[in-house]
């Protein structure tokens, strides 16, 4: 598997290829720690997940680095927007924070569209559509969470819909990894379902262990570590039934991320 420093190098190269003279470039560099800031350690979970699926399906890691970067860049666009929403985007201000997040979103799609020449146009279209659909689902989940803060109440069905939307990037990371490896449509969609189910467990775990002061709404009764474990078990059953992830490396990835805490 690709080492963490190699992932960071690929990601930095993907970011810097869009450098320009407008204020958005130093803002993006600041977010990623490329402007002399202490970048710190980053898990790059969604980026790693693309590569785990590629390896599981026997694909070439080199063919997937640009795709993994696209997913990670899109994820970071949401982090910039979240910082503005939380009032923590003072280094950019409201308008620049929104704009920098939008710029990262555009960079994610350009990263896919300007992929290696050996990738067929048809495959690029499939990947771009998948990432756009994931972005839309993510926005729907974010809108639902914003509504929780406004309404002051959280119905169980609405909470499940919200975490399903927020897990969309985990789902598309698996889907894109399968596409890179040349998996057929049914297998690709099974990986997407595995990523979504496991990503929902991740969302629950992050809510349970997160600082409750960071939310303006109370967790519903179903948001427990037991529920997170149930989603992980559902992912195990899904993988077995669909005949994917035979070596279990994708499920092991989520186990490393979640099970010590869940």
pLDDT tens-place string over residues 199-253: 999 999 999 998 887 788 889 999 999 999 999 999 999 999 999 999 999 999 9
CA 247 vs. chain centroid, Å, equals 23
- Look at residue 259 and give its three-state secondary structure: coil
Q: What is the pLDDT of residue 167?
A: 97
Q: What is the pLDDT of residue 184?
A: 96
**Among residues of the chain, what percentage have pLDDT more than 70?**
92
DSSP state of 218: P
Q: What is the pLDDT of residue 37?
A: 57
For the segment 71-81, the average pLDDT, to the nearest whole number, is 93
For residue 91, pLDDT over 80 is answered with no
Question: Are the CB atoms for 4 and 44 separated by under 8 Å?
Answer: yes
Cα–Cα dist 245/247, whole Å: 6
For the segment 180-209, the average pLDDT, to the nearest whole number, is 96
Cα–Cα dist 78/71, whole Å: 11
Share the mean pLDDT of the chain.
90
Report residue 35's pLDDT band, with 50, 70 and 90 as the boundaries.
Answer: confident
Give the side-chain half-sphere CA count within 13 A for 165: 18
For residue 176, pLDDT over 90 is answered with yes
Q: What is the pLDDT of residue 260?
A: 61
Q: For position 73, which CATH number holds?
A: 1.10.600.10
CA 30 vs. chain centroid, Å, equals 20
- The count of other CB atoms within 10 Å of the CB of residue 60 is 12
- Lowest mean pLDDT: which of 63-67, 70-74, 193-197, 213-217? 213-217
- The count of other CB atoms within 10 Å of the CB of residue 106 is 13
Q: What is the pLDDT of residue 190?
A: 98
For residue 173, pLDDT over 60 is answered with yes
For residue 88, pLDDT over 70 is answered with no
Cα–Cα dist 106/100, whole Å: 10
The pTM of this model reads 0.92
Q: What is the pLDDT of residue 212?
A: 83
Q: What is the pLDDT of residue 242?
A: 97
Domain count, the chain: 1
Report residue 147's pLDDT band, with 50, 70 and 90 as the boundaries.
Answer: very high
Q: Where are the beta strands (DSSP E) in 86-237?
A: none
Report residue 161's pLDDT band, with 50, 70 and 90 as the boundaries.
Answer: very high
Name the region of 57 (left: φ>0; alpha: ψ -120 to 50; beta: rest): alpha
Report residue 6's pLDDT band, with 50, 70 and 90 as the boundaries.
Answer: confident
Task: In the chain, count H helices and then E strands.
Answer: 11, 0
Query: 105 lies in which domain range?
Result: 4-258
Dihedrals phi, psi of 72, to nearest 5 degrees: -65, -40
């Amino acid at each position: 598997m690709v080492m963490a420093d190699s992932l960071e190098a690929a990601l930095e190269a993907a970011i810097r290829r869009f450098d320009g003279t407008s204020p958005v470039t130093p803002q993006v560099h600041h977010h990623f720690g490329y402007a002399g800031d202490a970048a710190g350690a980053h898990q790059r979970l969604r980026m790693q997940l693309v590569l785990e699926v590629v390896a599981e399906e026997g694909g070439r890691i080199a063919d997937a680095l640009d795709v993994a970067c696209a997913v990670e860049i899109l994820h970071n666009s949401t982090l910039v927007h979240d910082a503005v929403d939380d009032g923590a985007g003072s280094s950019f201000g409201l308008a620049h924070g929104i704009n920098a997040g939008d710029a990262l979103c555009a960079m994610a799609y350009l990263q896919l569209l300007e992929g290696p020449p050996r990738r067929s146009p048809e495959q690029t279209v499939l990947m771009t559509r998948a990432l756009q659909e994931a972005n839309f689902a993510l926005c729907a989940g974010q809108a639902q969470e914003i509504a929780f803060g406004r309404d002051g109440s959280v119905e169980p069905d609405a909470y499940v819909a919200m975490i399903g939307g927020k897990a969309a990037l985990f789902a598309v990371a698996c889907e894109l990894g399968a596409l890179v490896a040349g998996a057929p449509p049914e297998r690709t969609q099974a990986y997407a379902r595995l990523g979504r189910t496991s990503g929902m467990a991740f969302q629950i775990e992050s809510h349970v262990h997160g600082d409750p002061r960071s939310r303006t709404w109370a967790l519903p009764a179903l948001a427990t570590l037991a529920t997170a474990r149930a989603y992980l078990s559902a992912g195990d059953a899904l993988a077995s039934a669909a005949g994917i992830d035979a070596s279990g490396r994708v499920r092991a990835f989520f186990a490393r991320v979640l099970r010590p805490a869940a």
